[in-house]
Chain A
């Protein structure tokens, strides 16, 4: 029974995640007055990459291929820990949100490791930026998690995300949205469509990957995007009070809305100069911090 549920959930995440970048690209194309690539484009890309061969640098060790594999397993594990509204999660226990955060950190370590395997300056630069900005994003995420804990009085994800964010929901939504943009390398923190290596963070870390490992890395990135979108939706909307079918529709609607938001932000804003990224991440942190303070004050009064 548990095995069946595991397979169904895993299949859901595996198959739905690559849809998200397609939606974002369609929104961007619509804003720009173009037709844009098909929504299912990433599926075709992944299938094509899965059939191709791999070129490895002469300097790279087997860690070049093990890194993406472990990163994928880490994000899949984090995805299975996240409750899906009323359907809950595969396994939930007190303190599982910390495991979720640290599994994402493991994925980050592995992708940075795989990037540094090639001994190239570009990948080193991308890895340096990724791990540095993650410090501020982690602080913001911990503040957001703490605010949800204080709001609901529980430390298990299933009970934390069921009611809404309460009085500080608007601040929490803004903070978590900024963290979503930062962690998934979207404008204004990183431009997924740029061709200039000196301006990339995530794109430059996968510069030398090819074939199945690249497919695994791209899929891992989309699963992370879906994870953050679901987290944002459940943290802000009072999902727990709705019935089963309404639950699923609201979740799907929330994710869709988040993706449309990302697409609009990508179309309307320019990428920030790197020296201004810490300011925006500190803003995200302060938004989550003030949501925490409102949650604390709300319970006291």
Chain B
């Protein structure tokens, strides 16, 4: 079947899902899965044939003919959307069922399908006006999905913050598309690389798409929104919705010319965002907030790779730029896969223990072995460790950086800081996710809620298993996915025809595969040897302490305290400390909180000053008629003076 027919089927499925989702949960799930399957099939068709699909309608919507296009770049993002949309829908069946949430579940299903539909339209639109319409609808559907649990105050607040930030970004996008339409004369979007006068528009696009992607310092809405939303919604948002921002940046840096400094700026901004994002993540003790800040880090890596690709494109289409672009596109997929896996795992934990706070969890591996192992796999992937997928995409970007340095193609000032910042960010990510996985799943349960935890059902495991399989496949056999990346690179820049994968990638995947098999074999061998020698269980020795309790374990704040202490200038933690006093202390409290620094320490004070200034100016509007007439007379006198003293009217 052609890509067009498959897309039409997906569209019809999703519309039906949106209309019937309120009442019939099972048929809704069926429709969404059909849409996911056909969407991915359409993407695979484009990769396999290498030809892009285009369609222009006869009728007009809003004065412009509908123009849809599915090329390599859109297909890559569309495949990600399909997989995560279908997986999340299956997850929601058990996580947000009608029995527990009679009001919000039907609303959630309708909004989920509309969100998938709008994101698909954003990916397919080749006309500026329809892009904006789809973008707005997508932002609004996401708002309704984020605030499904409307009873809680922090959910409502995070929804408002998301909406405000999203519209701020959309404002920049309105300016971008408007100026583009004015300068080119039509709303149609397409490759326009020869129009050098369009290059300053890149900064507008960076601002607008950067807010949606969650680049530091435009990420202020991301932590609260992704933490307070239901977990399947967080998975879709972190996995796909912020990639829409990345899609915009990739698409318009490929179609339009960019200013000379754009590559440098994006590379540096991305690396700084990566380091700061993971520093924030390390300091969190709320599991989902930690995962949300980690998304900021990975978007930083994606933008850094894109910046390096732009630098390579400016310098005679260097091979290292192509490596960087391949790494960026692969990381879009990888991050979607492992972040969704992590959010599904966090959702299972919240479902089981009822809390997101890591200091109230612990020892959950016994009750939830599946979730624990899959979550650990996700943590290994997100820390960029071999032999999983996170390592492959980061390796490609690093190789691009190092090749550029070795050939002295890029100036040292462009290559050295990102390499060091990304290395530090990678090591911090390892610390952060060792903390997340270990504090939540290992040791002894810290509260009664953690003791009573129970494993989720098959509907919650299925999507997690699927995503874990994707992570393993992308890590052990990245060459199988190379045609997709190659076709997307070709769509980005037609002179970059990377039809065979780079030679080191084949060697890398072979080494990863061997190591994975060896690790399995040695682990099994060691377990058998330990059992053969005699395996005995006992209390933790802990240097001979006879009565360990669960409260004595290392907490998440303590684990992260050393490294987070180096970043206090950025994190500015707030601490409330009441020390125990006297011989028989009654109560002691130690609460430490890391605020969202850009929001609470920068934007909020500025906003307060603006409000104060406007309140002062309001005193001019007091309702007294004689004073208003006085204002009129004063204005007329001022105009007269202006004319008298020689000013031009």
Contacts and interface: CB of A to CB of B under 8 A. Distances in A.
Determine if chain A interacts with chain B. yes
Contacts of A248: none
B380 A109 contact: yes
A264 interface: no
Given A74-B515, A146-B405, A59 B504 contact: no
B527 A66 contact: yes
A126 B507 CA distance: 36
A135 B543 contact: no
Interface string B550-571: 1011100011111100100000
Given A53-B534, A56-B536, A135 B398 contact: no
B562 A129 contact: yes
Interface in B544-592: 548, 550, 552-554, 558-563, 566
A234 interface: no
Interface in A244-301: 278, 292-293, 296, 299-300
Interface in B398-416: 398-399, 402-403, 405-408, 412, 415-416
Contacts of A124: 553-554, 558-559
A137 B553 CA distance: 27
A170 B503 CA distance: 34
B378 interface: no
Interface in A83-125: 91, 93-96, 98-99, 102-103, 105-106, 108-109, 112-113, 116-125
Contact of B423 (A55, A96, A139, A155): A139
A34 interface: no
Contact of B519 (A65, A70, A113): A70
Interface residues of A, number: 84
Contacts of A102: 384-386, 391, 395, 426
B260 interface: no
Interface in A170-187: none
Given A128-B558, A212-B529, A292-B416, A57 B538 contact: yes
A134 B526 contact: no
B454 interface: no
Interface of A: 50-59, 61-63, 65-66, 68-70, 72-74, 76-77, 81, 91, 93-96, 98-99, 102-103, 105-106, 108-109, 112-113, 116-125, 127-129, 131-132, 134-139, 141-143, 145-146, 149-150, 152-155, 197, 207-208, 211-213, 216, 278, 292-293, 296, 299-300
Given A102-B391, A105-B426, A131-B431, A52 B533 contact: yes
Question: A-side binding surface: helix, strand, loop or mixed?
Answer: helix
B523 A70 contact: yes
Nearest to B366: A61
Interface magnitude class on chain B: 35 or more
A54 B540 contact: no
A143 B405 CA distance: 12
A134 B398 CA distance: 19
A212 B526 contact: yes
Given A128-B561, A212-B529, A207 B543 contact: yes
A69 B520 CA distance: 9
A216 B533 contact: no
B419 interface: yes
Contacts of B427: 105, 131, 134-135, 137-139
B116 interface: no
29 contacts: A56-B535, A57-B538, A59-B442, A61-B366, A61-B369, A63-B376, A65-B526, A69-B519, A77-B518, A102-B386, A105-B427, A109-B430, A112-B434, A113-B442, A121-B552, A127-B438, A128-B558, A128-B562, A134-B431, A135-B431, A137-B427, A139-B420, A142-B423, A145-B402, A153-B408, A207-B543, A212-B529, A216-B526, A278-B566
B419 A142 contact: yes
